[in-house]
Amino acid sequence: MEPLSDKQRRVFDFIRQTIAERQTPPTRAEIAQALGFASANAAQAHLRTLARKGAIELSPNRSRSIRLIEDDTSASAAPLSLAVVGRVAAGEPILAVEHVERHCQIDAGLFLQAPDYLLRVTGDSMIDAGILDGDLLGVRRASDVRDGDIAVFRWDDEVTVKRLSRQGHIARLVAANPQYTDIVVDTRRETLVLEGLAVGVIRSL
């Protein structure tokens, strides 16, 4: 399979997640609605690109005619070796050597989207989203984030896990705990950096 762009990966991951949840692929209209495309034709254009790159197979005569080629080999995927990132110092790269507590191998099948690293969660601001203090949050690097996504952001030299709500140039980082107020960022005057999208949680029992 040829490498996918971030947008193509979002389409591919949505298809895979839909199939995993209901055992049938989404329609073009469902893809367009879920990913914010202007029309089903825009979704179809992405599907043709995915087919050309060898990620999926399409049948032209059916609305749900998508088969993931990757599924044929996913069961034998090699384990992922991921850095476990602890507390991040202000202004320093999140994967700086001094932030990495250790590396660990995990089963690639634990996540619908493969993470690039694991971030140790501190605090209870996201407990209503099922993200608890001490959890390891799987984080996938990305260049774009949608409203409603839970992601890792850098703001005011601090790294935080929050859900995004965006209105024009105002970005709200919303906690999943009513005891916390929103972080409101005016992107015209302040810098908000996306460090990655949350793709799952590992919890020690």
- Give the residue numbers marked as catalytic: 125, 162
CB neighbours of 111 closer than 8 A, spacing ≥ 6?
A: 138, 199, 200
Tell me the residue length of the chain: 205
Identify whether the C-beta of residue 126 lies closer than 8 Å to the C-beta of residue 153.
no
Q: Other C-beta atoms within 10 Å of 85: how many? A: 23
Do residues 86 and 99 make contact, with C-beta atoms less than 8 angstroms apart? yes
Asked if residues 135 and 151 have their Cβ atoms less than 8 Å apart, the reply is: no
